[in-house]
Chains A and B, each alone.
Chain A
Amino acid sequence: MGLFILRRLFQGFLVVLGVTLVVFVATRMVGDPAQVMLPLSATAEQRAAFEHKFGLDRPMAEQFVDFIGDLATFDFGESMWQRRPAMDVIAGRLPNTLKLIAAGLGLAIVLALPLGALAAIRPGGFADRITVFLGLFGLSLPQFWLGLLLIMVFAVTFKVLPTSGYGGWTHFILPAVTLALPAAARLMMLVRSSVIDELNQQYVRTARAKGLRFPQVLFGHALRNALVPFITLAGWEFISALAGYTVVVETVFAWPGLGLTAMQAIKFSDLFLLQAIVFTVAIGIVLVNIVLDVIYKLIDPRIKLA
């Protein structure tokens, strides 16, 4: 187990290194932050001073060496837009994104488990057809569109929920629903097919023939066996949300999270902040993956961790 985690950590290190390299090349070789960051009327001297201050006038190789050195000490540089350490900006925003993902994913799980099981009880039946169609429908809605429609209906027309921003629990509802819907659809489909497969197994048929009650079969066998693929998919949903799919939702709902901050960093061409965000998220993904692997191992000791 210890060796396994070490290996995973090494692999994670490679991931982070790769991400770092791509980010560095993309930002320094092509963009010119001095031009975008300063006002239209800024003079050539002001631009030069700006580049000097942030070390953008030095050779690429030198910048890269410095960059790696800083990363090793968790110094992500100063956000050019916010004029404070990029890490401070991220520290303020990451929790908001995590909370949003937790709310969205939690909602997705809560929806997916009973609906998937319900659909699986009688495949091809009425409930199944409805849930499958709803699931496919949920997969088909572009999130930015869904978000706008929800704002229109619940915030503007009925005025029962806030339109945007961060605050009490009511602020969570619309963004969480928007984030949850496609994930709920995928998870629900997975629960459904796992449970169907399980209910068709010979031993289950035997158990039922011997008089085991249906709920016992469902909760005792079917759902438990669906757990590993379910956690895999839920983990994948978590990662893909973290990897940027909250950007759209946060943009639409003005949610002060990492995704919105990334869009602002792009707008202000704030390289250091953008780098730091991508870097943080990469580390987050590596950690989540390791945690997932450990969970598998705990659930099912037969799984080989290579």
Chain B
Amino acid sequence: MNSITKLLSRAALAAMVALPAMTAAQAAEITIAVGSEASTLDPQKRDDGGERAINDNIYETLLARTPAGELVPGLAEALPTQVDPLTWEFKLRPNIKFTNGEAFNADAVVKSVARIIDPNFASEQMSYFGTIAKAEKVDDLTVRVVTTGPDPILPSRMYWMKMVPATYSDDPAFQTEPAGTGPYKLSTWTRGQEVVLEKNPDYWGDAPSIDTVRFRFIGESGTRMAGLMAGELDVITNLLPEFVESVPKSAAVQGVETSVIILSTENEATKDERVRKALNLAIDRQALADSLYSGFALPTKGQLVNPRAFGFNTALQPYPYDPEQAKALIKEAGAEGKTVTLVGEAGRWLKDRELIEAVGNYWEEAGVKVDYRIEEFGEYLNQLFDRKKRPDAVFVVNSNELLDADREMSFAYMPNGTASSNNDPDLAAWVPAARVETDVEKRKGIYAQATQKAHDHYYLVPLLNMQDVYGFSARLEWQPRVDAKLLAKEMKVTE
């Protein structure tokens, strides 16, 4: 069976090379363009988009999410139960095998956890798993995961941890010849060019409708577009909103990224609350969303927390656009003509430079002078992370894959957070408290307080919740996911 499919796909490949214009006619084979090349196919090592896009189709996690973002059982039979504040118990689905023949069982889970948190392994994904102490086998299909402190978002974390086979994962070959439990397995990997996946015939779940998935690495977005228009590609990510009209098909979904400008409460230019308020009121977020992103972004609702995330404060309203009041506030605070330094970078996020410059324009209209510091990425990070000397205003796009407010809180809300610029003692106390609060309602309450406080004192200038826009070929049917995973098993091809 295997060799036959391989043979067929070889034949298909040969036909394609000979007749590139014919690709659109190939059934049940799709090509997905990703921006950067996979550096390894070890699913636990790196934290980069190229690797993730491919391994999301080869490997699976204990918990999964629906396309809309709701946590559901994955390799686990059900959502976990809490044994005590530090211990979570998972029941596993029976009779699942990795493609190398190893069984998926408690040993595999214990190994997966131990492997990824091993300091010697130095996984780049550790920032997702910092609270996990160990995993214990109870019986063949029952596992307990133990955390170092109370960790309410452990289920979300386990949705990020890919399960690897207990024995084979120690083999050096594992990095290039993966073996997972997922709907697809590796067929060929041509370095620098493409990775081809084929259907896993022994997949435990519903069989996917697409037989072969080809991932091509194309860095230039113009080149990706050209490939889509020419019918060589079926899915491209990060489609520029302007192209929605031009591509054969497109789809958008609320994404995990939110753009924000973090204001310093210490610096001369921005320590006056009236100035910070004015900088918020001066911006027409709706106009930015409509024109810059062609409507594929939503104005933030007075907070940085992602609307899909746990801890999102539904009571908060968006900061209104009120240029007159902004001007008046700037005047009142005596900040007219004063310089605000706005630090940012270009090229990392969709239209980042454009957004920074547009916001700066609004600020200048309100009466301050803006000193744009578009830095090279390394220097930008220096300034973003510099705890001693905060920039007046620094632009950043926060990404919340775990969909829990703790991410935004420890990044931009909590004093001495990764990139925060305030010294609010309440936030300093609340954020760590919420992190270990296992009572869901209490925890929600703390986040409501925190977002309200930051909102009222204008510590941040939350800008837009980004949508992820995808371009499809005419024949592809797919509902993109909130978590931005490119799951080929959910895709279909119409002929």
Contact = CB atoms under 8 A, between A and B. Distances in A.
**Contact flag (A, B; Cβ within 8 A):** yes
B171 to A, nearest CB: 15
Nearest to B218: A254
A36 B47 CA distance: 13
A48 to B, nearest CB: 11
B192 A96 contact: yes
A53 B122 contact: yes
Contact of A165 (B39, B193, B378): B193
Interface residues of B, number: 45
Nearest to B399: A40
B219 interface: yes
A148 B222 CA distance: 8
A207 to B, nearest CB: 50
A297 interface: no
B346 to A, nearest CB: 13
A161 interface: yes
B218 A155 contact: no
Interface string B44-70: 011100000000000000000000000
Nearest to A253: B223
Interface residues of A, number: 49
A263 B223 CA distance: 16
Interface in A109-145: none
Nearest to B21: A159
Nearest to A154: B230
Interface string B187-227: 00001111000000000000000000000111110110011
B381 interface: yes
B223 to A, nearest CB: 5
B217 A254 contact: yes
Given A151-B223, A161-B20, A164-B226, A42 B124 contact: yes
B378 A32 contact: yes
A96 B21 CA distance: 23
Contact of A163 (B36, B45, B227, B378): B227
Contact of A164 (B39, B122, B223, B378): B223
Contacts of A251: 219-220
A165 B192 CA distance: 9
Contacts of B36: 264, 267
A2 interface: no
A168 B122 contact: no
Interface in A62-120: 81-84, 89, 92-93, 96
A83 B121 CA distance: 13
B462 to A, nearest CB: 17
A43 B45 contact: no
A163 B126 contact: no
Contacts of A41: 127, 411, 418
A240 B267 CA distance: 50
B192 A156 contact: no
A14 interface: no
A167 interface: yes
A164 B227 contact: yes
Contact of A83 (B40, B223, B378): B40
A269 interface: yes
B20 A254 contact: no
A43 B127 contact: yes
Nearest to A257: B192
A36 B377 contact: yes
A50 B126 CA distance: 13
A165 B23 CA distance: 14
A231 interface: no
B377 A260 contact: no
Contacts of B21: 159-160
B454 to A, nearest CB: 19
A167 B17 contact: yes
B29 interface: no
A254 B47 contact: no
Contact of B20 (A93, A170, A256): A170
B344 interface: no
Contacts of B216: 165, 254
A164 B192 contact: no
Scoring A89, A160, A164, A263 by chain B CB atoms within 10 A of each residue's CB, the highest score goes to A164
Given A168-B18, A251-B220, A264-B37, A163 B226 contact: yes
A261 B192 contact: yes
Nearest to A88: B191
A211 interface: no
Given A43-B127, A254-B223, A35 B230 contact: no
A251 B46 CA distance: 24
Contacts of A148: 222
A216 interface: no
A252 interface: yes
Contacts of B298: none
Contacts of B192: 92-93, 96, 166, 256, 260-261
Nearest to B227: A163
B157 to A, nearest CB: 13
Contacts of A93: 192
Interface string B108-134: 000000000001001010110010000
A165 B191 contact: no
A291 interface: no
B167 interface: no
A26 interface: no
Nearest to A43: B127
A38 interface: yes
Contact of A152 (B226, B378, B382): B226
Nearest to B42: A83
A264 B219 contact: yes
B241 interface: no
A253 B222 CA distance: 10
A59 interface: no
A165 B126 CA distance: 34
A130 B304 CA distance: 62
A163 B127 contact: no
B215 to A, nearest CB: 12
B39 A260 contact: no
Nearest to B410: A41
Contacts of A43: 127, 130
A83 B20 contact: no
B122 A50 contact: yes
A209 to B, nearest CB: 55
Given A49-B119, A50-B122, A42 B127 contact: yes
Scoring B220, B384, B396, B411 by chain A CB atoms within 10 A of each residue's CB, the highest score goes to B220
Interface in A34-63: 35-36, 38-43, 46, 49-50, 53
A82 B40 contact: yes
Which 5 pairs across A and B sit closest by C-beta, in order of nearness?
A256-B192, A168-B17, A163-B226, A41-B127, A254-B218
Given A49-B119, A165-B218, 17 more contacts: A36-B377, A36-B381, A41-B418, A46-B127, A92-B191, A92-B192, A93-B192, A155-B230, A156-B229, A162-B230, A163-B232, A165-B194, A167-B20, A168-B17, A168-B20, A256-B191, A263-B219
15 contacts: A36-B378, A39-B127, A46-B122, A83-B46, A148-B222, A151-B223, A159-B21, A163-B232, A165-B194, A251-B220, A252-B223, A253-B223, A254-B216, A256-B193, A260-B219
